[in-house]
Chain A
Amino acid sequence: MLSLRSIYEKPFKSIFSELIMQEVPGLIACEGCDAIHRRLALDHNEIALCSCCGAELERDMSSHGRRVLPLTIASLVMYIIANVFPIAEMELHGLSSRTTIIGAVASLNAQGMPLIAFLVLATTILFPLVQLVSLIYLLVSINATGHSFGLNLLVRMIQTLRPWVMAEVFLLGVIVAFVKLTSMATVLPGVALWALGILTLLLASVFSFNPRYIWRMALPKNRGKKIISANSAGAAQSTQKTVEAEIP
């Protein structure tokens, strides 16, 4: 099925450069070692590994693709709870103090640590929100119309930001801070802490979804519209030969 994939005309690309650059269908290159593999049709939850270096080539996302939208919406709800309510409360000598995640960022900034404040803000508040909102937008618009405005830019942004979303590390940080404080004062976990715990679990599931799959979701609907021209059919044939010749 994938070998039928042809070159799509893009409005912003000149026809001239389309003629020069040709897509090679049916193959996949390992990101770890550049070895070429034939793209296999994966069964339910199967993962294709590179036979050369052992890195993951591809994993089956068909079942996950349906689950990811509800999970993302649930994550957004938990995200809001985790950010609005205080994460912990501390009592000492009858005095109490509480903070939200934003509150911690603000007090870092007030202490003359704007860089650290920004780092915490970005990794625990800004990036997760951007990821969740853009993922919901993409999934909803793809399911409804098959394409969406800014699809390429958003998916690439989600991929680039992924290592910088650190909700699970933050959760562990909260637990460590808790234990550190218990010897010194009375600490009470806030609502946000539980929400953060659930958010971490949900995000782990959402982020196991490779956003690369969104391009696949968008493709079949494009394919109906674009008819394979004689030129690109020829290209597909010639690459088919390359496959036969080059795969050991």
Chain B
Amino acid sequence: MKTAARLGIVSCHHCATLWKGVKAHDRCGHCGARLYLRKPGSLNRTWALVIAACIMYFPANLLPVMITASFPGEEQQDTIMSGIIYFWASGSWVLASIVFIASFLVPLFKLTVMILLLIMVQRRSSWRLQQRALLYRVVEVIGRWSMLDVFVVSLLTGLVQIQGFATVYAGEGIVAFAAVVVLTMLASISFDPRLMWDAAEQERGKSV
């Protein structure tokens, strides 16, 4: 495979122009963006963000995301999971599965895939590179859909404000949940998929 890096060519991340003979701190002559061969500090940054997201994942699922005060003195606390179960029990299976996928499966899937990709790069593995490239693209696309629950809670807190009868408050869990979503999105942005191919190629070069 002929890669730009091997030919000494740097591709501008923003306008895709290719440059030869780039030195450190050079900027793209077309769009003025800083040029770099690979995203700077990609592995360290991605690891930090993924680990932070993993830590936040627990409070996000254990703490209540929404508190409903329906009658004086009566309070109902909802976690992400109990909200899904509520939908399922009340018969709206379609919504139950949408929320289950967006709020539970997608963050879990993203974390698993990012950890898998990071470990594979560090082990210089050339195992199923194409499928891994596809996985990365999937993670990039689906990442934003986990924001769903944040929007549901924010809308309900805005709308359900009838004092004495029904008031909805946002719980601490939603902060942790939003943090998971933002951190995993940042992690997938800071990960450079070209590192997977670099690592595999280095390993191949060594064995030959």
Q: How many whole Å from B60's CB to the nearest CB in chain A?
A: 12
Query: In the complex, what residues of A have CB within 8 A of residue B178's CB?
Result: 115-116, 119
B154 close to A116 (CB less than 8 A): yes
Q: How many whole Å from B72's CB to the nearest CB in chain A?
A: 14
Please report the C-alpha to C-alpha distance between residue A89 and residue B118 in the assembled complex, in whole angstroms: 47
B67 nearest in chain A by CB position: A111
The 0/1 profile, CB within 8 Å of A marked 1, for residues 78-115 of chain B is 00000100110010100100110010000000000000
A29 close to B31 (CB less than 8 A): no
Please report the C-alpha to C-alpha distance between residue A58 and residue B178 in the assembled complex, in whole angstroms: 33
Please report the C-alpha to C-alpha distance between residue A24 and residue B7 in the assembled complex, in whole angstroms: 11
A248 close to B19 (CB less than 8 A): no
Please report the C-alpha to C-alpha distance between residue A155 and residue B162 in the assembled complex, in whole angstroms: 44
Q: A24-B20, A152-B32 are in contact. Are A179 and B147 (CB under 8 A)?
A: no
A side interface size, CB within 8 A: 81
Please report the C-alpha to C-alpha distance between residue A118 and residue B89 in the assembled complex, in whole angstroms: 33
Q: How many whole Å from B88's CB to the nearest CB in chain A?
A: 12
Query: In the complex, what residues of A have CB within 8 A of residue B27's CB?
Result: 13
Tell yes or no: A129 within 8 A of B by CB. Answer: no
Query: In the complex, what residues of B have CB within 8 A of residue A13's CB?
Result: 27, 29
B99 close to A90 (CB less than 8 A): no
Tell yes or no: B63 within 8 A of A by CB. Answer: no
Query: In the complex, what residues of A have CB within 8 A of residue B162's CB?
Result: 90, 92-93, 95-97
Tell yes or no: B194 within 8 A of A by CB. Answer: yes
* Number of residue pairs A-B, CB distance < 8 angstroms: 239
Q: How many whole Å from B175's CB to the nearest CB in chain A?
A: 6
Identify which of B18, B90, B130, B147 contacts A24 (C-beta below 8 A).
B18
Q: A35-B2, A179-B92, A239-B20 are in contact. Are A92 and B152 (CB under 8 A)?
A: no
B156 close to A159 (CB less than 8 A): no
Q: A173-B155, A176-B152 are in contact. Are A247 and B2 (CB under 8 A)?
A: yes
The 0/1 profile, CB within 8 Å of A marked 1, for residues 144-175 of chain B is 11011111111111111110011001100011
B175 close to A21 (CB less than 8 A): no
The 0/1 profile, CB within 8 Å of B marked 1, for residues 1-33 of chain A is 000000110101100011011111101110111
Query: In the complex, what residues of A have CB within 8 A of residue B189's CB?
Result: 163
A172 nearest in chain B by CB position: B148
A179 close to B144 (CB less than 8 A): no
Tell yes or no: A84 within 8 A of B by CB. Answer: no
Tell yes or no: A209 within 8 A of B by CB. Answer: no
Please report the C-alpha to C-alpha distance between residue A7 and residue B17 in the assembled complex, in whole angstroms: 11
Query: In the complex, what residues of B have CB within 8 A of residue A159's CB?
Result: 14
Tell yes or no: B22 within 8 A of A by CB. Answer: yes
B92 nearest in chain A by CB position: A179
Q: How many whole Å from B163's CB to the nearest CB in chain A?
A: 9
Tell yes or no: B62 within 8 A of A by CB. Answer: no
Q: How many whole Å from A41's CB to the nearest CB in chain B?
A: 16
A177 close to B129 (CB less than 8 A): no
B99 close to A113 (CB less than 8 A): no
Identify which of B14, B98, B165, B193 contacts A32 (C-beta below 8 A).
B193
Please report the C-alpha to C-alpha distance between residue A60 and residue B12 in the assembled complex, in whole angstroms: 19
Q: How many whole Å from A95's CB to the nearest CB in chain B?
A: 5
Tell yes or no: B205 within 8 A of A by CB. Answer: no
B30 nearest in chain A by CB position: A215
Tell yes or no: A45 within 8 A of B by CB. Answer: no
Please report the C-alpha to C-alpha distance between residue A55 and residue B9 in the assembled complex, in whole angstroms: 19
Query: In the complex, what residues of B have CB within 8 A of residue A58's CB?
Result: 16
B154 close to A104 (CB less than 8 A): yes
